[in-house]
Amino acid sequence: MSFIVALIFLQTTLFLYAATAQTIEEFLKKGRLTEARDCLETGEFSHLPSSVRNYYNGLLRSDGNTSAQFLKESLYSGEDFPQKERADIRLAHYYFAKGFFITCINNLENFIKKNPESGLLDEAIYLLGRSYLNTGKFDKAQASFSKVIDSHPQSDFYGWSLFGLGCCYYQKGNYDKAVRSFERLLDDKSQPAYPQALVMLSHSHSQLGNSQAAADYQKSCDSSYPEGFWSGQIQETAEVALDIPAPKIDQKSERIINAHYYVQVGAFSSKANANQMKGRLSRRGYGVLVESKTENKQSFHKVLVGPYATNASALAAKKKLEREEKDVFLIILK
């Protein structure tokens, strides 16, 4: 008899758990956060496992640090729960938003290794690509974006991965390939990255010396997206693509990982041009190196100023170089 009672209690608990979770999910989908919070505070909420309570608390907190703490508690509880993969990805988004790109990379690499069949794999790989891009690891970023493009063509992150791929080529100085990547987005105006692709096509053609094409793409963007909400978002996205921030690492971590920062001041297909810039900066007292790579039988040569032991010292050098050169440069971690 006690077994039957226990079974009924378990079934009732599972039913309440599923019903409460479903109700909260519906409120979240509709953006009705107040109702979702009210639902969490009702008596039914007590039937949810602590891992699930922490997960939903993480989603509904307006303060990012508090939200992240709840998500960590849900993940490190040792319990398996249906929303565990989503909690992991949400936490990765928090790290990315805070600029903790190396922590985000570690988090996502572990997620992909542990969950090779996850329905969130496309999102994880895309975000990993963004994190690689923001730390100057352009080859790894390129591989991640290409994987989404090739393996997840129906993904919501397909268009953004094309945009990311174009940004990789742009940062590496391969402007022809950047143009081809951004142009693929123009086939579908409904792609969220369509306006940003127009901006980057203008920048890419400008780098290639195609002034008329650059002007045409800028005009197309200006006419299609006049001043307003979109224009600000387009400009912000273009600035991110052109000026990727350095990864945020505290000084203690910098010493542990023996970090070396460089300011990338150029990327050339001609080594002679790269050496010319190196000589010009060296004569002004900068430490400069030229890093050469060959990809698909095409060589490119990055001009790097450094190394600097801390992000702060690299940032100071970056600002000084930008004033002197009247250009925008990139900090990378090696």
Amino acid at 12: T
- pLDDT bucket at 140, cuts 50 / 70 / 90: very high
pLDDT at 35: 65
pLDDT exceeds cutoff 90 at 149: yes
Tell me the per-residue pLDDT of 285-305, one tens digit each, with 9 for 90 and over: 999 999 887 765 667 788 899
pLDDT at 17: 43
Chain-centre distance for alpha carbon 44: 37
| 235 within 8 A of 304, measured Cβ to Cβ | no
pLDDT exceeds cutoff 90 at 109: yes
Residues 6 or more apart whose CB falls under 8 angstroms from that of 125 comprise: 108, 112, 144, 147, 148, 152
What is the DSSP pairing of strand 288-295 with strand 261-268? unpaired
CA distance 198 to 231: 12
For the CA atoms of 194, 196, 199, 202, the dihedral, rounded to the nearest 10 degrees, stands at -60
Question: Could you tell me what percentage of the chain is helix, strand and coil, using 3-state DSSP and rounding each to the nearest 5?
Answer: 65, 10, 25
Q: Rounded to two decimals, what is the model's pTM?
A: 0.64
Tell me the per-residue pLDDT of 71-88, one tens digit each, with 9 for 90 and over: 888 888 777 878 889 889
Find the range with the poorest average confidence among 67-81, 88-102, 207-221: 67-81
pLDDT at 22: 62
What is the DSSP pairing of strand 298-308 with strand 261-268? antiparallel
CA distance 102 to 96: 9
Domains of the chain plus CATH, in order, are 251-333 (3.30.70.1070)
